[in-house]
Amino acid sequence: MRIILNPVSHHGSGSISALATELSSRGYKKALLCTDPDLIKYGVAKKATDVLDAAGFAYEIFSDIKPNPTIENVQSGVAAFKACGADCIVAVGGGSPIDAAKAIGIIITNPEYADVRSLEGVAPTKNHAVFTIAVPTTAGTAAEVTINYVITDVEKKRKFVCVDPHDIPTVAIVDPDLMMSMPASLIAATGMDALTHAIEGYITRGAWEMTDMFHLQAIKLIAANLKKAVEGDKEAMGKMALAQYIAGMGFSQVGLGIVHSMAHGLGALYDTPHGIANAILLPSVMEYNADATGEKYRKIAGLMGNHEAWKMPIEEARCAAVAAVSKLAAEIGIPSDLKGIAKAEDLDFLAESAFADACRPGNPKDTSVADIKALFAALL
Domain hosting residue 92, numbered range? 8-178
Pairing outcome for strands 158-163 and 148-153: antiparallel
Residue 2 is assigned to a structural domain of this protein: no
Q: How much of the chain is helix, strand and coil, in % rounded to 5?
A: 55, 10, 30
Residue count of the chain: 380
Q: For residues 133 and 246, give the distance between their C-alpha atoms in angstroms, rounded to a whole number.
A: 18
Name the strand (E) or helix (H) holding 302. helix 296-303
Q: What is the pLDDT of residue 1?
A: 84
Q: Tens digits of per-residue pLDDT, 119-170?
A: 999 999 999 999 999 999 999 999 999 999 999 999 988 889 999 999 999 9
Looking at the fold, whether 161 and 193 belong to one and the same domain comes out as no
Taking only the tens place, the pLDDT of each residue in 22-45 is: 999 999 999 999 999 999 999 999
Give yes or no: residues 316 and 201 share one domain: yes
Residue 280 shares a structural domain with residue 155: no
- DSSP-based three-state secondary structure for 319: helix
- 201 and 233 part of one domain: yes
DSSP character at residue 355: H
Q: Cβ distance 265 to 372 under 8 Å?
A: no
- pTM over 0.85? The answer is yes
The structural domain count of the chain equals 2
The H or E element that residue 92 is part of is strand 88-93
pLDDT above 90: residue 18: yes
pLDDT tens string 269-322:
998 999 999 999 999 999 999 999 999 999 999 999 999 999 999 999 999 999
Report how far apart, in Å, the C-alpha atoms of 239 and of each of 171, 214, 236, 246 are.
20, 14, 5, 10
Cα torsion 73, 156, 262, 203 to 10°: value is -70
What is the pLDDT averaged over residues 245-264? Answer: 96
